[in-house]
């Protein structure tokens, strides 16, 4: 063994010994003595370390492949090597090798460094900011990017997804990725109208021994846009519960509904979201049959709220529109829906915020809510994907503390996030981004100290993917100018 090789082995062995000692020490540590305020911090520090160690595992896989160790040891793939020597599952081995291919630092035959396939994602993992599930989510989206998209746009997309992964969950990456795919391919040729028409359908299976029927199928964008607002009110917790004789029936927004009875029924409601959807459809079918609507009309009236730009509306083709439930809808279909919908016009200022629409009463008006749906798209807490249909109107500065019910002082927050805004030690706070900043007028959420000791304000980009795309492109142009390239 060369002196250089021996030194490298000694260094690795020293670090592994220290890592093993640290693991043993943590296992033997008296965690019951850790103060409440430090338990979450300890979890975060441990998770960061484990994620960074995962990057080391990928480096070892790269080393084994580049040295042809699997073949030397009698294996026809690195996966089989991992399964045997680490006793991991085939799925786990496959995932590790895939991660190494995407994030690893590979080399040419002459020994020159090759850039990682997902460089920004690799950097985020080395920093301990993301884990394996984040990496898989980014890779899934990147595989769906068409070959027609330029290399620079694909690189920008990977940078955006990595940034989203740093601040959110793998599910956030999936959600943002689907929006990003729509932006990268605005004409909708990832799947065209013929593909959607071919795939649409709902199938009812045979009744089983318990008289239950399986339902399966796929809805096209128009059918989904019509169904979402119905479920938002008919499948609300507490509504149309067949197991609760005191549960209100029908539409939760009906003025005749007793609000107190609905709140009480929601507190008793133990159904899953799927069960609430089922019960809502059952109640809706019953009302339709009793009303005679199927006999007089071919379908339900359009109730979707659609947001699109004036340019999209004028062209009436290309791109996607957004519904109040966070869904995406091709412009052609959106225009057809809008022909039957009550028209709503929302005017925005240069920062993309709705112009002044004030109100002296505490409760926001219907027009203010429509403006917020168009401007915010959904819950404004960073990382939350709840669409506007699941949100309440929130005063950025609380009404009881002197806040005003003006459009520039209101925002959207889902019930779960809204409950986290309070004056307690674990409470979040909200404020408006300052004028002149990159997100002027947008709602900033200030986390409690146990999440971020510096309490740095956070902005939700989940419903505004254009923000991240624009920022990434500005950074790319700045780097190009700094390198002497063409801006």
Mind giving me the DSSP string for 96-164?
HHHHHHHHS--B-TT--B---SSHHHHHHHHTTS--HHHHHHHHHHHHTS-TTS-HHHHHHHHHHHHHH
Task: Tell me the mean pLDDT in the region 239-251.
Answer: 92
Q: Which domain holds residue 447?
A: 366-456
469 contacts 450 by C-beta, under 8 angstroms: no
Q: Considering the domain boundaries, does residue 471 fall inside one?
A: no
Asked if residue 130 belongs to a domain, the reply is: yes
Four-residue CA torsion sign, 125, 131, 136, 137: negative
- Domain identity same for 318 and 375: no
> Which of residues 326 and 229 earns the better pLDDT score?
229
Q: How far apart are CA 138 and CA 157, in angstroms?
A: 10
| Tens digit of each residue's pLDDT (9 = 90 or more) over 363-401 | 556 667 777 877 888 899 988 888 888 888 888 877 666
Residues 374 and 332 placed together within one structural domain of the fold: no
Residues 6+ apart with CB under 8 A from 292: none
Q: Is residue 124 part of a domain?
A: yes
CATH code where residue 413 lies: 1.10.30
Residues 49 and 103 in one domain: yes
Note whether 58 and 122 are same-domain residues.
yes
The per-residue pLDDT for 302 is 36
The Cα–Cα gap between 162 and 137 comes to 10
CA atoms of 220 and 354, how far apart (whole Å)? 31
Strand stretches in 349-450, DSSP E: 391-395, 410-414, 429-432, 443-446
Q: Are residues 89 and 157 in the same domain?
A: yes
Q: Distance between CA 313 and CA 311 in Å, rounded?
A: 5
- 243 in the same domain as 317: no
Does residue 126 lie in a domain region?
Answer: yes
| Alpha carbons 351 and 128: distance in angstroms, whole number | 34
Secondary structure class of 27 (helix, strand, coil): helix
In a domain, residue 301? The reply is: no
For 316, how many CA atoms within 13 A lie in the half-sphere containing its CB? 6
Band (303; pLDDT cuts 50, 70, 90): very low
Contact 445, 381 (CB under 8 A): yes
Residue 434 inside a domain? The answer is yes
Assess whether 66 and 147 both reside in one domain.
Answer: yes
Provide the pLDDT for residue 312.
56
Share of residues in the chain with pLDDT > 70 (%): 77
% of the chain surpassing 90 pLDDT: 34
Mean of the pLDDT values across residues 312-318? 55
Query: Are 317 and 268 contained in the same domain?
Result: no
Question: Are 260 and 139 part of one and the same domain?
Answer: no
How many domains is the chain built from? 4
Asked if residue 44 and residue 180 are part of one domain, the reply reads yes
Q: How confident is the model at residue 138 (pLDDT cuts 50, 70, 90)?
A: very high
* One domain for residues 165 and 226: no
Alpha-carbon distance 77 to 98, whole Å? 12
57 and 170 fall within a common domain:
yes
Instruction: Please say if the pLDDT value at position 295 is more than 60.
Output: no
DSSP characters for 430-476? EEEPPTTSTTTTPEEEE--TTT-TT---B---TT-HHHHHHHHHHHH
Instruction: Give the other-Cβ count within 10 Å of 57's Cβ.
Output: 15
Whether 121 and 103 have beta carbons less than 8 Å apart is answered as yes
Q: Are 391 and 411 in contact (CB under 8 A)?
A: no
CA of residue 461 relative to chain centroid, distance: 9
DSSP characters for 257-317? S-HHHHHHHHHH----HHHHHHHHHHHHHHHHHHHTHHHH-SSPPP---EE--HHHHHHTS
Q: What are the residues facing 410 on neighbouring strands?
A: 395
Place 350 in a pLDDT band, splitting at 50, 70 and 90: very low
478, part of any domain: no
């Amino acid at each position: 063994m060369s002196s250089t090789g021996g030194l490298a082995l000694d260094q690795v062995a020293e670090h592994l010994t220290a890592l093993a000692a640290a693991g043993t020490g943590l296992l033997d540590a008296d965690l019951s003595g850790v103060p409440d305020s430090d338990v979450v911090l300890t979890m975060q520090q441990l998770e960061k370390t484990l994620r960074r160690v995962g990057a080391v595992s990928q480096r070892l896989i790269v080393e084994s492949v580049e040295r042809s160790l699997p073949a030397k040891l009698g294996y026809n793939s690195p996966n089989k090597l991992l399964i045997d020597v680490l006793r991991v599952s085939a799925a786990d081995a496959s995932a590790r090798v895939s991660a190494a291919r995407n994030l690893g630092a590979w080399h040419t035959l002459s020994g020159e460094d090759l850039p990682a396939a997902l460089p920004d994602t690799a950097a985020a993992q080395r920093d301990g900011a993301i884990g394996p599930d984040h990496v898989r989510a980014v890779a899934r989206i990147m595989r769906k990017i068409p070959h027609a998209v330029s290399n620079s746009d694909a690189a920008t997309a990977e940078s955006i997804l990595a940034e989203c992964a740093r601040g959110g969950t793998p599910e956030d990456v999936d959600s943002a990725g689907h929006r990003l795919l729509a932006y990268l391919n605005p004409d909708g040729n990832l799947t065209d109208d013929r593909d959607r028409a071919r795939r649409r359908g709902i199938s009812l299976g045979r009744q089983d021994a318990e008289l239950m029927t399986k339902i399966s199928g796929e809805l096209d964008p128009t059918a989904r846009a019509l169904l979402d607002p119905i479920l938002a009110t008919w499948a609300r917790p507490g509504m149309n519960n067949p197991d609760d004789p005191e549960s209100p029936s029908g539409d939760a927004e009906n003025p005749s509904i007793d609000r107190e009875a609905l709140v009480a029924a929601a507190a008793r409601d133990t159904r899953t979201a799927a069960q609430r959807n089922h019960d809502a459809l059952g109640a809706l079918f019953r009302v339709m049959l009793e009303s005679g609507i199927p006999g007089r009309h071919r379908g339900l009236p359009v109730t979707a709220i659609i947001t699109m730009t004036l340019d999209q509306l004028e062209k009436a083709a290309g791109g996607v529109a957004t519904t109040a439930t966070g869904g995406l809808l091709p412009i052609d279909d959106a225009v057809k829906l809008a022909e039957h919908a009550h028209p709503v016009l929302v005017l925005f200022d240069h920062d993309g915020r709705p112009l002044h629409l004030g109100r002296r009463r505490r409760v926001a008006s219907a027009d203010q809510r429509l403006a917020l749906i168009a401007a915010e798209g959904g819950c404004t807490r960073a990382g939350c994907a709840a669409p506007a249909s699941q949100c309440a109107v929130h005063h950025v500065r609380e009404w009881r503390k002197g806040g005003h019910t003006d459009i520039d002082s209101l925002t959207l927050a889902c019930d779960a996030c809204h409950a986290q805004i309070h004056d307690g030690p674990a409470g979040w706070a909200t404020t408006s981004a300052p004028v002149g900043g990159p997100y002027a007028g947008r709602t900033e959420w200030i986390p409690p100290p146990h999440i971020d000791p510096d309490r740095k304000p956070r902005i939700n980009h989940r419903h505004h993917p254009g923000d991240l795309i624009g920022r990434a492109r500005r950074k790319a142009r700045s780097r190009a100018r700094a390198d002497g390239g063409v801006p």
